[in-house]
Amino acid sequence: MRTAASFKSLVADAALELRESLPGLGIVLDHAEGEDALYRIGSSIGWIARRIEIPGRVPLMLEDELPAGVALRYWPTHHVVKCAIRQPRAVRAQSRMSACANCIWLASITGMSWCFVLRRQSTLHSTQPQP
């Protein structure tokens, strides 16, 4: 049976196998169904990027609906915090900038490395009749 956990385990195996030949190697791996892989890797590779946001939530909401300071308290310091900020086009620029500013503030107080991804969502409109 193929599961997300088995895929993440395969990613962990590959990273551990390649770590000596690729110093500084890093991977993107979240803890959702990947905790065993994260624990197995430990600090054996250069970095691990993990998401903190609930994917697709607008406005931005963090996993477990906890404040970032609480959520990150138990993360190892070599983990990189990945945060995708999704904002529909209809959201005013001021709101987008506010979400970005909050994330930058979080990065400054945690002392951890962060990776931000700003995504703009748009609705596709078709002018052709649907069958």
Read off the pLDDT of residues 5-59 as tens digits, 9 standing for 90 and up: 999 999 999 999 999 999 989 998 887 888 899 989 988 999 898 888 888 777 7
Contact between residue 113 and residue 81 where contact means Cβ atoms under 8 Å apart: yes
> Rounded to two decimals, what is the model's pTM?
0.71
Cβ-based burial of 116 (10 A; exposed 0-12, middle 13-18, buried ≥19): middle
**What is the model's pLDDT at position 98?**
75
**H or E element in which residue 121 lies:** strand 113-121
